[in-house]
A = this chain, B = another copy of it.
């Protein structure tokens, strides 16, 4: 921790990648966070401009820099394309900044998996061992003292929150099928012409049906939670909306386990979790828009346990989850900066 983080002082945070959807979400939330000070916002493409002048709706007066200066902050929150954080993290850590990475570079413990799914060598495989995949409700202790924290991807977050308690408690077989539906913002702001409005409006599109990069993340996390190998089948779909994910998770109840058993386990695990909401019916995904909430409902067909897990891919699936992890890691108020309520309609 840099010296600047003294008792009584506010935590100094910097955002790398502040012109993308997730990064700009961080800028908005951290700028209003009562217990931190947003000291730097970086964007290579827009360096030199004030954030509020180039990002729609921004209230941030800071002038963007090309690269964050880790010596002048306590924590870097990064929302960069794959590969970019792996290159920078070493320097950030060496200069005393902790790192919370929304991107994929430190999610997969094994560099061979990274090469397999991202098509390039990992730039800093030596740092993988110290990286913590943050699961704030399911493995709260893992964040203690962590300096390099990776967030699971948006789909993975929905799936892990949806399957976690059943898997941890061995109520289900260690094989999970996740069918997810996501808003288009998951593709980011630099997406190509196939993400133009007329191409994606009024339509549903399955993609990466043979295998998506979030699948190994899910398998690693659920395997660790289960204490035994847990396999995942995963298919994502794009639906014509901006924000939101519904992950419909299909699990197989072990013999003798009832739906009520599963519901009791979820209530137990998430009883004190301020951002998790259990309901009898599936939530409409837009209830989560702009919030850090995850809504869960449990159902049964035959011996299948079906969990509907609903969150905002840019909120709990990205920016606000990063703030939640920040709060938890640094002992801030758990809900600080995350008070946004559901809105209907």
Contact = CB atoms under 8 A, between A and B. Distances in A.
Interface string A274-307: 0000000010111101100000010111101010
A152 B196 CA distance: 25
A231 interface: yes
A233 interface: yes
B343 A28 contact: yes
B179 A198 contact: no
Contacts of A185: 197-198, 345
Interface string A212-239: 0001000000000000000101110101
Interface stretch (A35-43, A52-60, A78-86, A163-171): A52-60
- Copy total for this chain: 4
Interface in A290-345: 290, 297, 299-302, 304, 306, 308, 310, 339-345
A117 interface: no
B195 A181 contact: no
A13 to B, nearest CB: 18
A55 B285 contact: no
A210 B57 contact: no
A64 to B, nearest CB: 16
A161 interface: no
B209 A235 contact: no
Nearest to A308: B206
Contact of A56 (B184, B206, B231, B287): B287
B205 A284 contact: yes
A211 interface: yes
A202 B286 contact: yes
A202 B242 contact: yes
A58 B24 CA distance: 27
A11 to B, nearest CB: 21
A196 B210 CA distance: 26
A202 B282 contact: no
A308 B209 contact: yes
B300 A210 contact: yes
A239 B290 contact: no
Interface of A: 21, 24, 28, 32, 55-59, 177, 179, 181, 183-185, 189-191, 193, 195-207, 209-211, 215, 231, 233-235, 237, 239-244, 246, 248, 250, 282, 284-287, 289-290, 297, 299-302, 304, 306, 308, 310, 339-345
